[in-house]
């Protein structure tokens, strides 16, 4: 299986992510603030070499098999953690995105590392294909051959302690930081690849406020909590 990296052609499909942080589930559409060296090393590792090429190939095949078997037999398959490298066997947050002709056909995931990575991919592949309520019908057997699977494997979100919110504009790493804004019961996130659609950090944050139904400039308010995370993003080659 050939694996592609994510480019600008699919950025637009990620702009509608809305988050329920309590459950860590995103159902619609998914340097830096000062960090100590240990945290920076962890982020850099997750972004660059947290998964092997074999890990990515296996996870993509698992996502496709999960949807195929659920569609044909109504069964939820089980993953084999031993098929992954040791570094990829723990609990991780992830998203699975389905693309058809370069357009979104489903995207569901969760931020928090609440299950093993294999289980995360299986669950969210099925959810993206059959339970994304933005689409009037679930993925059909006649569509599956036309759909490309993409997976985003996340680091655990970490809350930022930023007193001067204007400094946030300089601290966020465009294209690397996924951002979560939480204000009361309203929450939203953008995955790191969404940065490519915005010219600067302020427009990125303003759009995230709007997407979460929060007031304009919500990121400036001290009652808004801000979290960041990183993602390893990979997908099948276009069909």
- Answer yes or no: is 214 within a domain: no
For 30-97, the DSSP string reads: ---S---HHHHHHHHHHHHTSS-HHHHHHHHHHHHHHHHHHHHH-------GGGS-GGGSSB-EEEEE
- Residue 50's contacts (CB-CB under 8 Å, 6 or more residues apart) are 87, 88, 153, 232
**Cβ–Cβ under 8 Å, residues 150 and 236:** yes
Flag whether 14 is in a domain. no
Report d(CA 79, CA 84) in Å as an integer: 10
State how far the Cα of 111 lies from the Cα of 79, in Å rounded to an integer.
20
The structural domain count of the chain equals 1
Instruction: Confirm if 69 and 61 have CB atoms less than 8 A apart.
Output: no
3-state secondary structure of 229: strand
Asked if residue 195 is part of any domain, the answer here is: no
pTM above 0.85, yes or no: no
Residues 95, 191: Cα–Cα separation, whole Å:
10
Q: What is the pLDDT of residues 34-82, one digit of tens each?
A: 333 433 443 344 444 479 999 999 999 999 999 999 999 999 999 988 8
Q: For residue 192, what are its two tokens?
A: 């790191």
Q: Give the angle 214-171-44 at the CA atoms, nearest 5°.
A: 110
- Is 74 a member of any domain? yes
50: domain CATH number?
A: 3.30.700.20
Question: Domain range for residue 50?
Answer: 37-156
- Residue 193 pLDDT: 84
pLDDT of residue 56: 95
| Domain annotation covers residue 115 | yes
Residue 59 is assigned to a structural domain of this protein: yes
Residue of higher predicted confidence among 239 and 219: 219
Residue 27 included in any domain: no
Distance CA 152, CA 120 (A): 11
């Amino acid at each position: 299986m050939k694996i592609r990296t994510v480019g600008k052609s699919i950025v637009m499909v990620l702009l509608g992510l809305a988050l329920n942080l309590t459950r860590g589930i995103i159902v619609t559409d998914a340097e830096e603030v000062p960090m100590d060296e240990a945290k920076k090393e962890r982020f850099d590792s997750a972004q660059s070499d947290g998964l092997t090429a074999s890990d990515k190939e296996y996870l993509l095949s698992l996502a496709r098999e999960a949807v195929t078997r659920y569609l044909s037999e109504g069964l939820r398959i089980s993953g084999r953690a031993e098929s992954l490298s040791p570094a990829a066997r723990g609990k991780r947050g992830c998203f699975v995105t389905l693309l058809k002709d370069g357009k979104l056909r489903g995207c569901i995931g969760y931020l928090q590392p609440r299950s093993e990575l294999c289980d995360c991919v299986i669950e969210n592949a099925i959810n993206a294909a059959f339970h994304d309520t933005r689409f009037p019908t679930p993925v059909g057997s006649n569509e599956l051959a036309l759909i490309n699977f993409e997976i985003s494997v996340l680091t655990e979100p970490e809350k930022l302690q930023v007193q001067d919110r204007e400094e946030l504009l300089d601290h966020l790493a465009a294209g690397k930081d996924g951002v979560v804004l939480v204000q009361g019961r309203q929450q939203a996130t953008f995955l790191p690849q969404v940065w490519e659609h915005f010219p600067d950090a302020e427009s990125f944050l303003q759009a995230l406020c709007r997407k979460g139904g929060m007031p304009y400039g919500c990121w400036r308010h001290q009652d808004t909590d801000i979290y960041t995370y990183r993602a390893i993003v990979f997908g099948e080659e276009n069909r």
